Chain A
């Protein structure tokens, strides 16, 4: 695939091996790829497939026990793999720039961002200090950081993640590099911010004409932003094609498999198994939350509180799956923990199966615990590392006082339900993959046949393909057992295929509730609309509605006056800044808290310009 038009960087037969105590690990095997001027290549693959090692290999910066053993990487006729460290320094940062993930850790915590940008400039160019500062301000401005004159004196911890990521982008683009490699540039960002960052990146690259590679696990990013796609598996490139033809007909079996699994879960072809349109009016709801409030005191500041949850009310019917969706800082996880009584509410009531759990003591609550279970976000950290899988699953059963023989039988049963074997039960958590560990977490939660399972971001730390498996499993189980789910997630696509109703949260309040299908058909609150507009479908033909929020979620310590969203909202009126809009019923089962919800009806989806 070499010598094509506009090829800027060309890697041929790159192989990287790690020489560890445990033997040789071939992390990258015979990878060849080209980056073209003005084009964006998406490199996808699951965790551990060698993506990051390939990135390091391309800039000849593989860390110690590893070494590039074969191949060449040509940039402007020079083979980077044969250059010495001195010449490499000349290339790195100036001709090839890297945008890392985890912006918080990539910036020097002790220096102001202006100084860090200045240093990056003076590393390659002889400029005076004032000149460097001026350039730094310019760079900050170009990535859309408001008030760059003042922000240049900020330290990294004063920036939000989104802002820090913008600084990293500014730093990478300082010397107008020929090649830019972005390693998971939006990992850890909320979807609305992810959209902002990716749009910015695309626009800047269009101006510069650099060749770009985005490393990601998200096929949605690839479909919407990239021109070409490379799929990596076990260190080898299994596919390298234009994006459009990939999504049409992936040629490799693995790619087909990957895409197939992603599509069914992401686009939501499968209908929720708990599809029986829940009718909460019929009987008393299983869980009823009213005006729930939770403030956390701010350490060291006597009168300041983090307003995590600011008056939330909702019902969950028996057997229903309710999705609670919002970005980080929306208070959704706090609601889950309050429902489980892991923390005490500041005010408001929680009724579970007719009992007022919010007023129970810890001891009174204990017998009820077997009826409300939880699945956690971090698959491994939620399992007790010192006991076997079977013992982990056994723990709630044992506490609930079940007999030994019955318990053994039950553990075996739930292991099968989550598609694990009895041999897996003998293992210890560290021997499991993330997907398996999450299955164990689910098995533990359903062991006592609870009435309600709170799923706290059960898929957010998993690879896409595994995510789809877990979603399928959750649907399968809810079909077998009569359980209600409270599915907490920032991932709308995950919620879509499991839940029959969705509640959207923003800054501690529910802004919109609607049955899933209706919610996806059209949103009646600008925040839901922005959130759904930010979902990147793994389909290059999908329309990207252009409904964006400005800036980022404000601090929950100082909530905005009036509607919490109004400072970011594109359709806000002066009234929105005065009083918080009530959650009103727009149609049966459909509520929204917005003065202008009528404006949103029928707003057409607009295809974004440029690619």
Chain B
């Protein structure tokens, strides 16, 4: 083998004594160095903060109707106006974060957990003979079947089978996203599996499961977190989408997709506010997560590192 020359000759003889900055500071600096990153970070932080403080900033109860005020345009009292049932749109847009965001986070966390476990097994034991190899093959083929269906259709089928409601929507979303994590992690592990440090871990006497999860897995979690940021955006979209077609969260609950669906029919008659405001909130949130995920993806690419 060739002796390894300094990977990046432009760095020259880098001092080895200098401490590399902490990963958190590195990511933060990287994200803030790009416009898309700044936008993503601002949007995501804003949405998260609003989610936390929602109960204290909404002016009205999101499920309380104002009988005399049907389809009132935006005003000082009702900033985003009222909808066809006389509900305050502003309060509902804010309160909806408490439906969409927790469902998306929980679903993403669950799909990440499932995906990482399956991915580590499929990757570490993949392309080998014996029980592990067979298991890996079975996992990958099942994932293939799931990924053969469009995500939305699959989620719709699952919710239709299990019944609507936030919990089932979350489970469905976790289910359809798990294969993405599994494939990502599997690819990373396949790349690492032949590294000498993995053999060293075997020489240490660790069981295959210990080597796979204790020694190898920690090296592949950062791409999973980046993927999580992108998945979060899609999870929100999916929650809203399912509710939009009536398969998600049931009616009085404040939820962006639901609001877009019920407010949409009034656009023709000029009452745009019940659907446009939740639509903007939804779009901005998804865009924020997507941008942040994109920039984070660049940040973990070693070629982008300086």
Please give, as numbers and ranges, the residues of chain A lying within 8 Å of B85 by CB-CB distance. Answer: none
Contact between B3 and A461, CB atoms less than 8 A apart: yes
Residue of B nearest to A457 (CB): B1
Neighbour of B200 across the interface among A66, A235, A376, CB < 8 A: A376
Contact for A431 among B9, B19, B200, CB less than 8 A: B19
Contacts of A217 in B (CB 8 A): 3
With CB as the reference atom, state the residue of chain A lying closest to B8: A20
- B270, CB-defined interface residue at 8 Å: no
The reply on B36 being an interface residue by CB < 8 A is no
- A273 interface contact, C-beta 8 A: no
The verdict on B77 contacting chain A, using a C-beta distance below 8 Å, is no
With A48-B6, A377-B1, A381-B197 in contact, do A399 and B206 touch (Cβ < 8 Å)? yes
- Report yes or no: A366 in contact with B205, Cβ–Cβ below 8 A: yes
A378 cross-chain contacts in B, Cβ below 8 A: 4, 196
Known A-B contacts A188-B1, A342-B203; the reply to A27 vs B12 at CB < 8 A is yes
Q: How far is the CA of A280 from the CA of B196 in the complex (A)?
A: 32
A582 within 8 A of B: no
B contact residues around A399 at 8 Å (CB):
204-206, 210
Q: In the complex the two chains form, is A187's CB within 8 Å of B196's CB?
A: no
CA–CA, A227 to B233, complex, Å? Answer: 67
B contact residues, total (Cβ < 8 Å):
33
Chain B's nearest CB lies how many Å from the CB of A453? 10
| Chain B nearest CB, measured from A410 CB (Å) | 14
Within 8 A of A (CB), among B174-233: 195-197, 199-208, 210, 215, 218-219
In the assembled complex, how far is the CB of residue B302 from the closest CB belonging to chain A, in whole angstroms?
Answer: 11
CB closest residue in chain B, given A384: B197
Q: Are B16 and A433 in contact (CB under 8 A)?
A: yes
Task: Using A50-B13, A430-B20 as known contacts, say yes or no to A373 and B1 having CB atoms under 8 A apart.
Answer: no
Report yes or no: B10 in contact with A18, Cβ–Cβ below 8 A: yes
> Quick check: is B25 within 8 A (CB to CB) of the other chain?
no
A488 to chain B, nearest CB (A): 14
Q: Does B304 contact A (CB under 8 A)?
A: no
Cβ contact within 8 Å between B219 and A384 = yes
Cα–Cα distance between A188 and B2 once the two chains are bound (Å): 5
Interface string of A357-378 (1 = CB under 8 A from B): 0000011001101101110111
A364 to chain B, nearest CB (A): 12
Closest residue of chain A to B1 (Cβ to Cβ) is A188
Bound CA span A367–B218, Å: 25
Known: A374-B203, A461-B3. A18 touches B219 (CB 8 A): no
A220 to B156, CA, bound (A): 72
A52–B3 Cα distance when bound, in Å, is 14
Of the listed residues A234, A340, A396, A399, the one surrounded by the most CB atoms of chain B closer than 10 A to its CB is A399
Is the CB–CB distance between B20 and A431 below 8 Å? yes
| Chain A residues closer than 8 Å to B210, beta-carbon distance | 399
- Bound Cα distance from A27 to B203, whole angstroms: 40
A340 to B202, CA, bound (A): 10
Given A188-B2, A431-B19, A369–B12 Cβ distance below 8 Å? no
Residues of B within 8 A of A184 (CB): 3
From 85 to 141 in chain A, residues with beta carbon under 8 angstroms from any chain B beta carbon are 101-102
Q: Which residues of B contact A342 (CB under 8 A)?
A: 199, 202-203
Q: Does A386 contact B (CB under 8 A)?
A: yes
* B205 in contact with A384 (CB, 8 Å): no
Shortest B152–chain A CB gap in Å is 36
Looking at the assembled complex, report how far the CB atom of A374 sits from the nearest CB atom of chain B, in whole angstroms.
5
Picked from B2, B5, B196, B218, the residue with its CB within 8 Å of the CB of A377 is: B196
Note all chain B residues with C-beta closer than 8 A to A50.
Answer: 12-13
Q: Please report the C-alpha to C-alpha distance between residue A27 and residue B6 in the assembled complex, in whole angstroms.
A: 13
Across the two chains, which residue of chain A brings its CB closest to B218?
A386
* Cβ contact within 8 Å between A27 and B20: no
Asked if A431 meets B16 with Cβ closer than 8 Å, knowing A188-B1, A399-B210, the reply is yes
The answer to whether A396 and B215 have CB atoms under 8 Å apart is no
Question: Is the beta-carbon distance between A461 and B219 smaller than 8 angstroms?
Answer: no
Q: Is A542 in contact with chain B by the CB < 8 A criterion?
A: no
CA distance A95 to B303 in the complex (A): 35
Chain A residues with Cβ under 8 A from B206's Cβ?
395, 399
Contact residues in A for B207 (Cβ distance below 8 Å) = 363, 366
CA distance A396 to B215 in the complex (A): 12
Contact B205 A367 (CB under 8 A): yes
Min C-beta distance of A330 to chain B, whole Å: 15
CB distance from A303 to the nearest CB of B (A): 18
Given contacts A188-B2, A461-B1, contact A25 B13 (CB under 8 A): yes
Which residues on A sit within 8 Å (CB–CB) of B3? 47, 184, 187-188, 217, 461
A47-B5, A376-B199, A377-B1 given; A396·B13 CB < 8 A = no
Contact A396:B10 (CB < 8 A) given known A188-B1, A431-B19: no
Q: Identify which of B4, B11, B195, B204 contacts A369 (C-beta below 8 A).
A: B204
Are the CB atoms of B4 and A461 closer together than 8 Å? yes
Contacts of B2 in A (CB 8 A): 101-102, 187-188
Question: Shortest beta-carbon distance, B186 to chain A, in Å?
Answer: 18
B212 to chain A, nearest CB (A): 13
A20→B219 CA distance, assembly (Å): 28
Q: Is B197 within 8 A of A53, CB to CB? A: no
> Would you give 30 A-B contacts (Cβ < 8 Å), ordered by A?
A18-B11, A18-B12, A20-B11, A20-B12, A20-B306, A21-B306, A22-B306, A25-B12, A25-B13, A48-B14, A50-B12, A52-B9, A188-B3, A234-B13, A342-B203, A370-B204, A382-B195, A382-B197, A383-B200, A384-B218, A384-B219, A385-B219, A395-B204, A395-B215, A399-B205, A431-B16, A431-B20, A444-B200, A444-B204, A461-B3
Q: What are the nearest 4 A-B pairs in CB distance?
A: A369-B205, A396-B204, A25-B12, A382-B196
